[in-house]
Every structure is written in C-alpha cells, then in structure tokens.
Structure 1
Amino acid sequence: MKKKTGWIEQPDGYLNITPILQFVLVTILFAMWAIAASLNDILITQFKSVFQLSDFATAFVQSAFYGGYFVIAIPASLFIKKSSYKLGIIAGLIFFSIGCFLFFPASRLATYEVFLFAIFVEAIGLSFLETSADTYSSLLGPRRLATVRLNISQTFNAVGDIIGILLGKYLVFTDANLKTEMAKMSHIAALNYGHQVLQRTLRPYIFVLLVLLALIIVFAFTKFPSGKTRKKTGEIVSAKFSETMKYLSHNKRYLKGVAAQFFYMGVQTGVWSFTMRLALDMFPKFNEMYVANFMLYSYICFFIGRFLASYLLSKFRETVILTVYALIGTIMLLGTTFIPNIFAIYLAVGVSLLLGPCWPTIYARTLETVTDKRHTETAGAVIVMAIVGGAVLPAIQGLISDATSMQFSFIATAIEFALVAWYFISEMKYDTKAAENEESQITALNENA
C-alpha cells in the first residue's frame, strides 16, 4: 500500500526502500543498550570491593541483567504482535528509564539486592528494545539487504560499548585501587567510603536518562512502518502463540541457532565482565581507572573487528569466516587461561576483534530458517531469549574462579567459543546446498533461453 511517507510496505513486512530517519533512530537504540551493558562491567568492578563479594556473587549483576531479557522477551514479542514495533520500542525506552532512575534510591539504600532489582527493571526495557529493534532493523528496507542493515545497526553496539566504558572511567573510577584503599580503613570508614563510591556510579545514568527522555519524545512523534506480514487484501496475518511454538520446536536448524547464540553470549559476557577483574587479580598494583583502558581497547577491537568482518563477509562465505573467527578466538582464550603474564590480558582484549560479527550473523541466519513469516516476531524474541547465556554461563565462570583462580575461569569461555565454531562448521552444508540450488536455477534459465 503506497503511503505519503515515501515507502511501500510489502506483503512480507519489508519495504521497497530504507527510510533513513527511521533506520537511524532504530540504530541509535543499539548503542543505548550497549551503553547499559558496558556500564555493568563498571558496576561489577565497584560492587566486588564495596560489597565484598565473591566472583560468583558479582556475576549476579549479569544474571539480573540478562535474566530480565529472558523473562520478558516472549511477553515483549506478544505485545509487539498485538500493537506495533514502534510501541514496543517506546515501552522499552520507558522501562529502561525507570530502571536507570531506580539507581538513585538504590545508591541511598546501599544494598546489593536493590541494585540488582534496578538492573533487572532496566533489562526489562532493554528486552523490549532488542526484541523490537533486532528484527525491525532488518525489515526497514528491501529483503535482500536485511542482513546488511542488521550488521550496520549492530556496529553501533561497539559505539555504545566505548561510550559506556568512557563514562565509567572518567565519571565513576578514581586513580586509586578501591580494594587496597578500603583495606587500609576501619570498618566504619570503609562503609562510608563505599557509600561515596556508590554515589559516583550514578553520574553516567544522569546522561543516559536525558537521552532516553529525548528518544521517547522523538519516537512518539515520528511515523514508522508496521513491519507486519499482510495478505494481498492488506489484512495483517498472524499466528497463535501455540502454533508458533510448535512450528519452532520442529525446526532443528532454528533450535541449533538459538543454542549457538546462548553459548556466544557466554563468551562475550564472560570475557567482558572479567577482563578488568583479571587484570586487578594478576596485577594488584593496577587501579580501576587504569584497567578500564583494557575494556576501552576491547571495545575498539570489537568495533574494528565488525568492520573487518563486513568486508570479509562480502568476499567469502559467512560460515567459513565465522568458523575461522571462532577457532582463533578459542585458541586466544586458551592463552588467556594458561599464560602467566600480562600477555594473557592482551589476548583477552584481542579476542574482541573476533566477537563483532557473531551475534548479528547467528541472529539473521537463525531467523532466515523461519520460512513462515507469520512467526517472525516470536521467533526473533526466542533468539533474544538466548541472551540468558550471559546470565547463566558467567555465573558458572564465577564459580570456577572461586574454586580455582580468576585466570583459569577463562577456560569456560574457550569451551563456549569452541561450541560456536562447531555451529558454523555444521552450517557449511547448507551454504553448499544453497549454492547448488542457485547454480541449478541459473542452468535452467540458460536452457530455457
């Protein structure tokens, strides 16, 4: 149906052109949830000392964060199905704002549990955003460029990560080692100092809140396409939730992709959550502000790696590129686990070069296995639910750290990345079949000509 907006909505939900303003606004959301995730790494480092937590306990920051994604993804998809992607995004921005606001009373109460609740509420909003935006970004234009659009949007994850770590480094951290400083103080003095530290964690969230309020207003007054599948008559086509879940449960490639996303999130979250902790553990003379540089380098590597992957993916098959990436990453993480010097930390930093293309490629590839587009919203939500790997697997890594050492705990991320490599190896045969089918079609066309 032709609209004054300048785009035409196709029956499968895609558009004839990409509306630039709408695509830019949706892409900004990718940076926003990356800022939140990046600030979690800052919080983990602070909470470890202030609340005197074990490595397993600190991992509950990520458990609360990604657990919120897991719990809300399906309700978010049902909300989107009943309303629209636009309303799903606005709901996400509102919950995100409420979660950020809750950090202020949490800092006053100064208890770990209240902070975890605030993080969980924040994650509810982010689950709405990611369930909406991951699929919506791919729909904002012609179908043949869907993966390209998603990769462009995902690049802004790296931008958000860099912004988040810079906010933490300069607004939260000081040039002193927090654990060492608190160890010199009396119990009462340490409690008071810890309370001051918690107040500093609020500074980045003031800026985040202002941006979120601006985005809510802009999205409310901007026209967006529906992105919904339609019949030829223009009627929106939908499927019952039970029908969708039955369809997905019988799609083995889809389930395998969800599992791969689960393990990938374990790699990304585990590496990024514990790199600063590893540096502080191996080199006690380092302080939090200094080790924040390692995360800044990690996010820059992530950004560069994604651009490099975009070029390589335009030249070679994605299964080959991602298999090589995952295998090299596995070897690097084994080095992080066993090399007893600072080179181990630089390997943990460098592995971010190889993380960039993993999430969008697994997401887009898995969603492509859903040939019945009536199930798109829920299928996308289930893939987003695989983010729970970032809640479960780092907690296991924390247990390994408490039982052995922080450095040896990186063996968990090496195993997880190896499983991601296995996924891409197993997907190679489908690339071969697709190529054979394409050649057959070309041959048939030539013969008919």
Structure 2
Amino acid sequence: MQASVSTVKKSQGHLIKLRAKEQDDGYLDKTPVFQYILLSLLFPLWAAAASLNDILITQFKTIFTLSNVASAFVQTAFYLGYFLIAIPASLMIKKASYKVAIMIGLSLYTIGCALFFPASRMATYGFFLVALFALACGLSFLETSANTFSSLLGPKESSTLRLNISQTFYPIGAISGILLGKYLIFSKGASLEKQMVGLSGQARIRFGEQALQHTLLPYKYLIAILLIALVIFAITQFPSGKPKSKTVKVNSNAKISETINYLVHNKKFVQGIFTEFMYIGMQTAVWSFTIRLAMELNGNINERSASTFMIYSYIAFFAGKMIANFMMKKMQPSRVLQIFAVFGILALLYIILVQNISAVYFAIIVSGLFGPCWATIYSQTLDTVTDKRHTETAGAIIVMSIIGGALIPLAQGFVADISTISISFVVNIVCFAVVLGYATGKMREYKANL
C-alpha cells in the first residue's frame, strides 16, 4: 500500500517537506525536485576531494622525494577508507536511514579536512595519509548512501538515467577541486623539483614545510561548505527509500551473512562488481598520471601549468556525461557504454604509441569517454539484486569496488617506474577492455529478452 511521506512524517518538524508517495519497492511515484537536487549536490562535494588527490600526488612526490609507486599511496589511503567503511555505512542505512548516513558522512568528511591542519605541522607523509583515510571514511558514507538513494528518488524505470544525471554534477566538483589546487597549492614560477634543486639540510626542510602549508587552503573552504550542507540536510525531509510490501517488511532484517551469501552466488552482481572495480581503478589512474604525463612530455612546464590539463579533463568528463545522457534517451545504456569503451581503448593506444604533447589531449579525450561508466554499471549491477532486503548492502559492496582506485594506480605507477609514463597507460587499456566486455554481455542479454 502506498504511503504519503509528507503525511507520515509531519511530526518530525522538518522545515522543508517532501510531497511524494513511496511505492512498495522503495521507489517514489515521482521525483521530488528539491531533495533530488540537494542529493545530487553531494556528488561534487566528494569529487572535489578526489580531484585534490591528483594535486596532492604531484606535490607530495617532489616534497617527500617519492617514487611513482610511493606517491600513488595517496590514492591507496583514500580508497582504502572507502573500502573499509562501506559495509558499516550500509548497516547504518538499514538501522536508521539514508539521511542519517549522509549526515554522518558529512561530519566525518569535515573531520578529515580538519586533520590536514595538524598534518601540515607534523610535515610527514604518513600523517597526511591518515588525514586522507579519515576524510575518505566520510566519503564512503556519502557515496554508499547517495548513489543508491539517487536511483530511488523517482520511478524505477528511470533509475539509471536519474543516477547518470546526478553523476553529471561530479565533474563540476572535480573542476572546482583542481582550480583550488592549481591556485592555492601550486606556486608560480619553476616547478617544485627545479626550485628544490640545490637545497639541502634545513633549507630543504623549511622550503618543504612552507609548500605543505599551501595544502591547507582548499580544505578551509571545504569545511565551510560541509557545515552549511549539514544544516540544510538536517532541516530537509527525505523518504526512507526502503521497501514497503508486507513480504519484504517482515523479512527486512536479513543477516549480513545471508546477504553476502546471496550476493556472492549472484553471478551477474559479481560481474558488475569486478567491472566497477576495473573502471574506477582506470579512472583514478588516468587522472593521477595526467599531470605527470604532461610534465614528462614537456619539460618546460611546471605543476600549475600542467594542472590545466586536468581542468580540461574534467570538462571533457562533464561533456561525456551530457552526451551519454542524451544518447541514453535514444538507445540502451549498455550500447552507449559499449561505444564509449571502444573509443576509449583507441584513445589510450594513441597515448602509448605517440609520445608527444598531443598524447595529453588524448588523455583528456579518455576522460570524456568515462562519461557513462560508473553510473550505468552501478545501476545495472544494483538491478541484479531482485531480493530487495539486500539493496543497502549491495549498494555498499558496489561502493567497495572503489578499492580499484587504490590498486590500479599502483600497477600503473610500477609500470611507469620501469618504463615511461606514456607506456604505463597500457594498464588502462586492460581496464577499458573489461568495461567493453561487460557492456557487450549486457547487450546480448537485452537482445535475448526481446
């Protein structure tokens, strides 16, 4: 039986009410515009943090004199937080609500940003990794909640498109993060490496400490925005997003072991998890190494100038999402994913084979071809979970596949250390080939069901 959320929850005292009806399967009969926009604005918040990692990797590599593999541990610490916290986040959603999990996520995100202040004073690589881990714990709560919740805020038949639209906000945050890093972290003049040539002892330490102080500035702005977001979410009413049918309601407290057993034996779900793992690893690796690719192919530019290519990358990512959203109105999402994957592999081949500055522009094209990947794979993987008692945990496990962002950059860093940055992009061809195989299989499945 349908329930009016605005009627049922009037007693909670929210200033901004929700007027929509929850269906038996947890979806809504229509999309509540304000709540949907507010939820979608979380996507650029975690995008800004992720894109700042690309700045930090370049900064830390020089200041702490790190190898490509060691500098990639920035992403390892970041995505390890995602991996470890996703299941606890899903349990919180089950026990409380998506909204509560989101507010916990915003709080942890704020604490993680605040830890950058003592980290800059300690001036040790390890302390920065701890701060990034704490920050990522908050983002894990946000992504575990927001990705699934976005797909639920409206009719089921448009869930994939709805999540793709929410994901379209991601590049806006990513561009903001890069701009903050470009102008607040990176300095003018020669590259850090050239500035530090000839410095030794206390002079080198003082220069490094001064450079590390610049890393604080973007996080001051993030803390202010996060506190505002917390207040707005607190006064806004959201649906539960949980199934309402009597059958599901009686058995809603499925044990975690039962859920894991169900998901492990769901072959389509496992395939989606692996594909998402490879995709997010590829996305993280390409973005982690784009600045260094530019600096390797043009030794006359500094970090600030090279970071401009990341701005172009996120603009391309945004354009790719917009194009994918338009194409999905005309054709199957799996077909769109298939087309983008083919062109992505071709663009990566160009980067490997043509080792001049034009390869950086093809790295930008690759970013555009990431457009439909995450949201399409996420939504299709979640749809394989037909027993809705397991939806929250399934969403969390899909978010856990983000651990690919911790491992694939390490693999690319290893290849870069034994060859060149250009050749290291071969790692991403393997990843895009997995995405292509997944999309092709989904298209076969779709045709077989016609």
Task: Give the TM-score of the pair, scaled to structure 1.
Answer: 0.95
Map Cα deviations across residues 304-356 of structure 1 (whole Å, 9 max, x no partner). Answer: 01001111111122222211211211121121122121111111111111001
Q: Does 1:409 align with 2:421?
A: no
Q: Say if 2:51 and 2:177, in contact at 8 Å, map to a contact too.
A: yes
The worse-fitting range, judged by mean Cα deviation, of 159-168 and 12-21 is 12-21
CA displacement at 1:9 relative to structure 2? 1.4
Map of 1:123 onto structure 2: 136
Pick aligned residue for 2:201 from 187, 190, 215: 187
Contact 1:229 1:238 in 2 (8 A): no
Report the AA paired with residue 448 of structure 2: K
Separation in structure 1 between the aligned mates of residue 130 and residue 324 of structure 2, nearest angstrom: 37
Provide Cα deviations, 1:29-88, integer angstroms capped at 9, x if missing partner: 101000000100010010010000000001100000111111111111011111110110
Greater mean deviation of Cα atoms: 241-250 or 80-89: 241-250
> Which residue is 1:173 aligned to?
186
What is the aligned partner in structure 1 of residue 271 from structure 2? Answer: 256
Q: Which residue in 1 is equivalent to 2:433?
A: 418
- 1:360 matched to 2:375? The reply is yes
- The DSSP-based 3-state class of the residue aligned with 2:78 is helix
1:69 matched to which residue of 2? Answer: 82
Cα offsets for 1:163-198 (capped at 9, x unmatched)? 111111111112221111111323322211111111
User: Are 2:413 and 1:398 aligned?
Assistant: yes
CA deviations 1:226-282 (Å, max 9, x no partner) are 111123499573422111111111111110010000100111001000000111122
| 3-state DSSP of counterpart to 2:421 | coil
- Find 1:280's aligned residue among 269, 279, 295: 295
* Shift of residue 203, structure 1, vs aligned partner: 0.5
Task: Report the Cα distance in structure 1 between the residues aligned to 2:351 and 2:84, rounded to whole angstroms.
Answer: 33
Query: Equivalent residue of 2:24, what SS?
Result: coil
| Counterpart residue number, 2:323 | 308
Cα separation, 2, equivalents of 1:186 and 1:56: 24
Code of the residue aligned with 1:252 in structure 2: it is K
Counterpart position of 2:13: none
- The partner residue of 1:198 within 196, 204, 212 is 212
Q: Does 1:374 align with 2:405?
A: no
Kindly tell me: are residues 233 and 322 of structure 1, through their superposed partners in 2, closer, same or farther at Cα, counting changes over 3 Å?
closer
Q: 2:361 aligns with which of 309, 325, 346?
A: 346
RMSD over aligned CA atoms reads 1.3
User: Contact 2:46/2:173 (CA < 8 Å) preserved in 1?
Assistant: yes
Query: Is residue 258–residue 386 contact of structure 1 (8 Å, CA) maintained in 2?
Result: yes
Match of 1:113 among 85, 110, 126: 126
| Ranges of 4+ aligned residues in structure 1 off by more than 6 Å | none
Deviation at 1:397, TM superposition (A): 0.9
Counterpart-to-counterpart distance in 1, 2:114 and 2:448 = 51
Q: Distance in 1 between matches of 2:82 and 2:205?
A: 33
Aligned length: 435
What is residue 348 of structure 2 aligned with on the other side?
A: 333
Match of 1:227 among 234, 241, 256: 241
Amino acid at match of 1:213: L
The answer as to 2:153 corresponding to 1:143 is no
Give the secondary-structure state (helix, strand or coil) at the position aligned to 2:21.
coil
Do the aligned partners of 2:75 and 2:409 also contact (CA within 8 Å) in 1?
A: yes
2:92 to 67, 74, 79: 79
